[in-house]
Amino acid sequence: MEIRVVERKENPLVGREEIRFEVLHPGEATPSRQAVRSQLASLLGAEEDLLVILRLRTHQGSSTTLGLAHLYRSPEILSKFAPKHLLQRGVKKEEGEKKEEKKEGGEKGGEG
């Protein structure tokens, strides 16, 4: 998997940088959001926690994925402006599974 930054645009009003990029993955499936986020953060020299992947689009049969990400300056700005559902999409599966187990445990106790 190779990532190329197509465009970087500073948005000082909101305290973030808007990044358009493409992911080249010949002969492979579309990479996960977590894998793209991790590699893009290291490419930009940024903290992974401040990077939000907004969009990943792959045309059918293509080995190129186009994406849009926002890199925030601080956690406070991130929590103020980043859509909450996109923050949950970036969570690793292990963390998400633990949350689901807690929910299921609470529901089972109420059935009896």
pLDDT, averaged across the chain: 84
Is the pLDDT score of 105 beyond 60?
Answer: no
Under a CB-based contact definition with an 8 Å cutoff, are residues 54 and 86 in contact? yes
- The per-residue pLDDT for range 16-62, each reduced to its tens digit, is 999 999 999 998 888 999 999 999 999 999 999 999 999 999 988 88
Write down the H helix ranges in 2-111: 33-44, 75-81, 84-89, 93-111
Give me the pLDDT at residue 37, please. Answer: 94
- Predicted confidence band of residue 112 (pLDDT cuts 50, 70, 90): very low
Give me the pLDDT at residue 50, please. Answer: 93
Q: In a 3-state reduction of DSSP, which class is residue 29?
A: coil
Question: What strands, in cross-sheet order, belong to the sheet with 51-58?
Answer: 2-11, 16-24, 64-72, 51-58
Q: pTM for the whole thing?
A: 0.75
List the domain boundaries for the chain: 2-106
Task: Identify which has the larger pLDDT, 17 or 81.
Answer: 17
When pLDDT is averaged across residues 76-85 and rounded to a whole number, the result is 88
CATH number of 2-106: 3.30.70.330
Give me the pLDDT at residue 60, please. Answer: 86
